[in-house]
Amino acid sequence: MRDLAAGFGYLVKGQRWVARHGRWWGFGMIPALITLVGYAAALVALFFWTDDLIGWATPFADGWPSPWLGVFRGTLAVLFVGVCLFLAILTFTAVTLLVGQPFYESLSEQVDITEGGTAPESGLPLWRELWIGLREAIALVIRAAVWGALFFALGFVPVVGQTVIPVLAFCVTGFFLTEELTSIALLRRGVLLKERRRLLKGRRMFTLGFGVPLALAFLLPLVSVFLMPGAVAGATLFVRDLMGEETREDDEEDEAGAGDDDRTQPGYPAAPYSGAQP
């Protein structure tokens, strides 16, 4: 439970960071706003044609008597809309990060500089980072589609499909959101997708504490735009904790306690993880 609260704490700290650095907050909203417009147009069009799509996909039910036809297709329509929203929430962050790669890279670097004095660098050219980001975004979309299809099918299970499954869906969404948002700071540290998943699964409650509240907030489209810069900032702070990196506050405490070899004490942060080089 302490990890769960700590993960949520970094989400709050990220919002506070951008609130103190207003220029970066406005800077980080630009890609999110561009992506939101595209997603909104696609979802409006999709939802407008939902009844037609359900009718086209279930021709075998055309002759069913009332009210069973309406109940059956109405249930399918609700599940279809739910899956579309699930996929939209999962992929919105990945697409926004891809569109705004230079924006969020600069924001994440600034957080590292502010908190630690320096910003780790991957040493990769921009085109290489963009290619890795695109490749990992495609992998995420495929995984999201698989999970979406699974939750869609499980939604037909009586009682469980309307109670347990939505909770599991938000947990999966929260994990994916954290994975996406931490990708910027971790890639600069040489940590690629496979190793990133291992790290996050090792601190599962920490990860869910950060990602699940964000997934709930992202249900409101405009909220996602306003929270996105702070989410990136919070993910960078999250990564600094995950990797055992010191902050300037830690340095000041070490100087104040000069004479005590804190590095020999249990619980002292581990050296920064070198990661797998691409």
pLDDT at 247: 61
Q: What is the pLDDT along the chain (278 residues), one digit of tens a residue?
A: 788 899 999 999 999 999 998 888 887 888 888 888 888 888 888 878 888 888 888 888 777 877 887 788 888 888 888 778 777 877 787 788 878 878 888 899 999 998 887 877 766 676 777 788 778 778 877 887 788 788 878 877 777 777 888 888 888 888 988 988 998 888 888 888 888 888 898 889 999 999 999 888 887 767 888 898 999 999 999 999 888 886 655 444 444 444 444 433 333 333 333 444 43
What lies within 8 Å, CB to CB, of 260 at 6+ separation is none
d(CA 2, CA 204): 12
Give, in degrees to the nearest 5, the angle at Cα 2 between 201 and 166. Answer: 60
pLDDT at 184: 86
Phi, psi values for residue 267, rounded to 5°: 90, -5
pLDDT at 30: 86
- Written as one letter, the residue type at 12 is V
- pTM score of the predicted model: 0.72
